[in-house]
Chains A and B, each alone.
Chain A
Amino acid sequence: MIQLSRNYSLPEREEEIIPIKVIGIGGAGSNALDRMVLDGLDKGDLIAANTDVQSLASSVAASKVQLGRGVTRGLGTGGDPQLGLDAATEAGDELRTACGEARLIFLCTGLGGGTGSGAAPVVAELARETGALVITFATMPFAFEGKRRAAQAQEALLELQKISSAVICFENDLMGDIVAPKAGIHQAFAAADVTISQSVRSIISLIQRPGLIRIGFDDLLAALRNSNSRCLFGYGESDSDNRPHDALTQALKNPLMDRGRMLSDATSVLVQVAGGPGMTLSEVEILMQELNRHISDDTQILFGTVVDGRMGNRLSVTIISSLAADGAVVSKPVFERPSAAPVPSPQAGPETKRSPAPELESQPAVEADTAPEAEPSPSPDEPGKFVPEAESAEPPPLVRPLQMIEATLNQPELADETPSEETDSIGDIAEVPEPAAMPQIVEQVREPEPQQPRVILPRKKTTPLKEPKPAENSVAKQEVLQFESVTRGRFEKSEPTIVEGQDLDVPTFLRKNVRVK
């Protein structure tokens, strides 16, 4: 059982921002950076390093380092890691300067080619020498890319694991599973980029968002400690009426989580829960109790929460952990849970225990289709178990069959405009402007019985969804898996418009660094 600390302290004074840099190495690395900018990361912190000047020119990163002015002369490496290594060595001074005073440096690269595989270990070394903590995000090539690439990638990965403080490794093959089988390779890469971006942003916010319970460098490293390890990473978010459950389900569904199965072997797990001011302690408790069933009793939990106004109605959970190398082959995801124990069902309705948020109580009772949900059962055909009703006078909970939790994958916008695009749902679309500020988390009457937690209803949408399919309504937002348009969006198929060294297909506001939200 997890012991939650009760000693919440108020958010501290605005702490000094920890200087961070993200370095994208090679073509894949640079694409990942572009994605991060789209997702709102400040591009001032981004450095693109590449042998290929054309790719550098089109990168949105604020600083760019050309590798191998003499060795490769602006061309790529043609897949030769030795060239990549020489090129990075040649640019050593520039790389050091680019790292600057950063205390935390993320490296992003696609292993298997020449630049990433050859240069990333050199860059990691340099970055370590500046005294920074170095976290490497690397993708491993698809199987179909061939044995040579796989071998080059494997070799580079071993190097990186020796040098970096932590390596988070993404299998392209697993990422590929996220997209429809007939989707093109672009989409698979785009999916990988989204996941990488998500992970980097989560870790940055873990460290930088002023949390009620802070997570520091040391906690992070503890979770990632095993050198030569495989990283488990999951992120989920939801604004549904059962958002703790839905967010966690999403996080566990991440391909890098292997459906949560591998968590049971982890020695320590870092968990961060973030939400808007409406997030309640009970929600956090529900989430942690549910997560607890996926990890062993000996596992150390490093736990942090964050209240962030920008989260609005959403609640998110980030899970980071690592496994020692022996168990390291991540199998294909199979939906199979060690425990099929019923999830405590949130009791919705006006009678919910005294809440610190009076507005919530004045909300009408939940509609039937947003009623409490049951844990999905292991078999897709069999509906989940009903949850014992505690004190509910409410309509019986609808049971949500498993398959409904499947991610609703959006086709990216790249496709030619077909009428079906009209119905594309990009998650945010149903988002509703935030109503008046909600009270901060306040101590709750604690309910010791885990089967009957007190749940404060999350704030309800002010605009009702028009008769959504029940499935849609209950599916948590799948940010990690969701395709939004990649940087080029609609222009994926066309030749990039490069004028004055800028890629004009990238939105102007992004390149000019104008915040539009």
Chain B
Amino acid sequence: MNITQESAFRTCSVTGLRVHLPAQKLIITNAVAAVVFLLIGGILALLIALTRWEVVQLLPADLYYRFLSVHGTVMLVFWIVFFEVAGLYFGGTVLLNARLLRPGLGWFAFVLMLAGAVMSTLVTFAGGADIMFTAYVPLKAHPLFYLGVILFAVGALLAVGLFLATVIVAKKEKRYTGSVPLVTYGLIAAAIIAVFTLVSGAIVFVPAFLWSLGIISSFDPGAYRVLFWAFGHPAQQINLSAMVAVWYALATLTTGAKPVNEKLSRFAFLLYILFINLGSVHHLMVDPALSQANRIFNTSYFFYLAVLGSLIHAYSIPAGVEVAQRAKGYAKGLFQWLVKAPWKEPGFAALAVSFVIFGFIGGTSGVIQGMQVNMIAHNTLRIPGHFHATVVGGTTLAFMGLAYYLIPLMTRRQLVGKAWASAQPYIYGVGVTMLSLGMLWSGILGVPRRTYDIAASSAGVAAPAYAGSDVTLAIMGVGAVIAVIGGAIFVGIAVLTLLTGKKMK
């Protein structure tokens, strides 16, 4: 079958979008892989959170460190990136009315990613990489751990390349006229950042792999940290850019919002591409060996112009919703548009909750903790407190919201349990908010991250008291339970829809 043929397309009866069938299969498959990893990571999340909650201390020390290592990789890399690949294929084909250029390459990329992900997950579960996802040298993992990450990164790089090629060919084939949609534009920004990220990943993990095999005799720990964070943080900027694109999409899907100003929104994405990766240096604020100028200039993302990009989106997205709502007649006073917003629509709930958690907790704490303030935050629980608000409350929740539309659209099945889906973003949001605030607050009290038991010590020196941490860690623990319940509801809806959802015409 010639995949360019019209027969390879179907037209969605609800949205009128034209869907390229080979792309559809890849989108579903990548999304399913994503959800499976989310499920694994979520179960581990509960176990490690209930271990950090000092009075519960569920796991023994070795399992805590092992599961923490798996949780970090599986969530931050596998769940997020598999879903992003699904999102890229969607934005590059369905939104552009286009075909996926080389589905075969897409499957090859998927197999590489899956093989890599399974390999490094199994190795870590088997105890071959109890060294956290950062794998700071000279802590050493089993070679297959590094190899797994490399395979995954190569696969992801191929997927990103396929997306970019698809967009370029769609333009050539005149599948759409004028500029790409804003959401696709945001995804292109994410893809460009992804290229930088994944290449950096190769630059750090390939020598680490060789070092673990004994082919290279040493790996400078300072150099490793620079290279690792040229991969580790830009990976979060992919998430940021993709999440903002998803926010725009959800605003349109649930309220009919249009971008109030295409120019300004696109300019904001451009600021991301240009400057945001500089910020990775905030991981090295209290490392040896960097100059003062380097630290201050880079951590500021070039005079905070990347933050300006985020502040622009923070205005443009609600403004689009407000304009759309006012046009529907909800024009009374300052906030009737907001009060009358579709709060029961899962996508809107996810958008609103994700937007607020990301902005108020994740974004602010991230920017501020990247300054000299880092000296009172580095490696305390403040750090996971910050990024659970960005990448969990923000990105993950936004992706869940999109999935409530993507899954029915792609599988032609009705969403199972719409009422559950409407409540899910709030449950998850409350959980993640408590989780994050509990962690942030514990960190302010000095409680370290990645530490099994803060009351233990050896050599007869008493551990610090961390006065008040019993309360803050309890907030974290209760929040974790609620968040995991919210996550389980999402996984349940996704799986049931896929397997038992009523077929749509």
A interacts with B? no
Interface residues of B (CB under 8 A from A): none
Interface residues of A (CB under 8 A from B): none
